[in-house]
Amino acid sequence: MSARAPTELEAQRDPPAPEASPQARAPDPSPHVRPATEDDLAAVAAGVGDLLIELGSTTAPPALALVQAARALLEDPGAGALLVAQAGDAIVGVLGASWQLAIHVPGRYALIQDLWVHPSWRSRSIGGDLLAAICELAREQGIARVEVGLPRERFQGIRATEAFYLRNGFEPLSARMRRILS
């Protein structure tokens, strides 16, 4: 079997995502969740890029733009939080959330923007650990509500994704829509 050619999205990455480290391939018995640092930004961007590919994106921002967006979230704690799951020297999970303000809540709430766990680390409680960490951080911020938008119905993993959030205390809310302003 021959290796597949990179997709257009994969080819757009600048630079390409780093190869998974040996720690990402061979599970470390002690992964832990912590706030991201400047040193994590390339790995965060690579993980979010992988997430976008997995979700079926045909276009995505270049890696440099993802790094810049992650840096902006890291540098402005009032905007939200950026967490990573680390095993050995490898980043094996990422969660980015923004703090939102809405009249209907009322007040502030957390919105999970990105949640990615390296495929070889899934079903090992890392995603749940990331969710627990963002919920605790939100509580510390005086926030009593955390929301997440699910992928589109055509995403092949939608049922598993939905079940994951339900197992972690989330409940169905509503569908979301967007409009891209150019």
Q: What six digits make up the tokens of 31? A: 């992964």
Kindly report the average pLDDT of the chain as a whole number: 84
Fold (topology level) of 31-167: Aminopeptidase (3.40.630)
- Would strands 146-148 and 107-117 be described as parallel, antiparallel, or unpaired? parallel
How far is the C-alpha of 46 from the C-alpha of 170, rounded, in Å? Answer: 27
Are 127 and 93 a contacting pair, CB within 8 Å? yes
- The closest alpha carbon to 171, from 160, 179, 163, 182, belongs to 163
CA–CA separation, 109 and 151 (whole Å): 20
Sequence-distant (6+) residues with CB within 8 A of 26 are: none
Task: Name beta bridge partners: 35.
Answer: 83
What pLDDT score was predicted for residue 29?
58
What are 164's two structure tokens? 């994951």
Which amino acid, residue 156?
Answer: Q
List, in sequence order, the alpha helices (H) in the chain. 8-12, 22-25, 41-54, 63-75, 126-140, 158-167
Q: What is the pLDDT of residues 79-126, one digit of tens each?
A: 999 999 999 999 999 999 999 999 988 889 999 999 999 999 998 999
pLDDT value at residue 157: 82
Q: What count of Cα atoms within 13 Å lies in the side-chain half-sphere of residue 42?
A: 9
Q: What is the pLDDT of residue 23?
A: 44
Identify the helix (H) or strand (E) that includes residue 80: strand 80-87
**Is the overall model pTM greater than 0.85, yes or no?**
no
Phi, psi of 8, deg, nearest 5: -60, -40
- How, if at all, do strands 32-35 and 107-117 pair? unpaired
The DSSP code for 173 is: -
Model pLDDT, residue 9: 35
pLDDT at 12 over 70: no
Work out the pLDDT band at 64, boundaries 50, 70, 90: very high
Domain extents in the chain: 31-167
Least confident of 3-7, 65-69, 128-132: 3-7
Whether residue 31 is preceded by a cis peptide bond, meaning omega within 30 degrees of 0, is no
